Chains A and B, each alone.
Chain A
Amino acid sequence: MSATDLTAVGKEVPGRGGLPRDQRRVRRQNPWRWLPIAPATVLLLLFLAGPIAYCAYIAFTDMQLTGQAEASFVGFENFTKAFGDENFRNSVLLTLVFTLISSILGQNTLGLVLASLMARSTKAIRSITGAVVISAWVLPEIVAGFLLYTFFSKEGTLNEILAWLHLPSQNWLFTLPIIAVSFANVWRGTAFSMLVYSAALSEIPKEVTESAEVDGAGSWQRLWHITLPMIRRSIGTNLMLNTLQTLSVFGLIWAMTRGGPGGRSETLPIFMYDQAFNKSLIGYGTAVALLLLVVGALFSVVYLRLMREEV
């Protein structure tokens, strides 16, 4: 999962669709000159559009992993089954909780806080915090999952700290698995928001904040009336990208809890995998995947609208 941030990439774009018109050299109007886009287009059609179309097809069949010669068309049965399925509703709810805590409240807010603290702090502390937060982001997903598994486990670091503070400890991965994986996702993903907001904050002209201060605006007023409105496009993009990324988290949760115990951290991607492979219901699992894809597509459309001026 990846996408762009308008603050940085946007700067490279001098105008709509690339080079300014006068610089755009009109060579022979030969359609063959578009040939170079063929390899990318073929790959995208075969390995991305193909599976999506296939997804839309099997979602309406009763395909199973084994033992069935022909899958037959069942209409909306998979979808009606999903909405009546308690486990599905549970996993929609968990996905919402996971997204709300880890993406919207966690990564986004913590990223903004970190970026604004960094703008004021001592250079040494800024560099070392940046390095550590970014390391957590660059580490492979599965390593991050494994590190946070030990951190939250019964004999892990978190309980050790709580015991030292004379606070009650508990088996976090068992009692509050969805909270544990949400914090794990915050640990892993905050760096991106931090980088986006650092770039956005550095583009606010000093004069604006200074003159507000001259006019007697307190720091909260400056944040609310100046900083936030000036970086609102970055906030929109960042929220959108964080949410899309969080919707498709699989490895992190798989490494920490495998969706358990008893499905209490089973977000939609894990549910989809579980139905398709452990329960062999490919058709049903794909229907869930299609729903996930549609939600993702809706978010992408909003993102495109935010980015429209950049293309």
Chain B
Amino acid sequence: MPQVTFIEHNGTAHTVDAVIGKSLMEAAVDNSVPGIDADCGGACACATCHVFVTPEWEAKTGDRTEAEIAMLNFAAEVKPNSRLSCQITVTAELDGLVVHMPDGQH
């Protein structure tokens, strides 16, 4: 099972098992990682599972969808490597993935 690491805004790291085929957001929520609110439950209809993908992983996590860009547009602190973690599907290739979190989800 791939392992992924979520790093909170305060630096606390959470390495968890992620299920292939489920979303990165679900890996956080299923393992009670704080800081991923995921209010809409994965419908790409809010922006509360916002993460920053570390540069070396950007190619493997893919491109943002149009709907994702529309929602990220309203997040508080958007960077070029911002993603909604509900839109990243876990694959074997993502074993070792590291993402950072903003200091709040809106």
A binds B: no
Which B residues form the contact surface with A (CB < 8 A)?
none
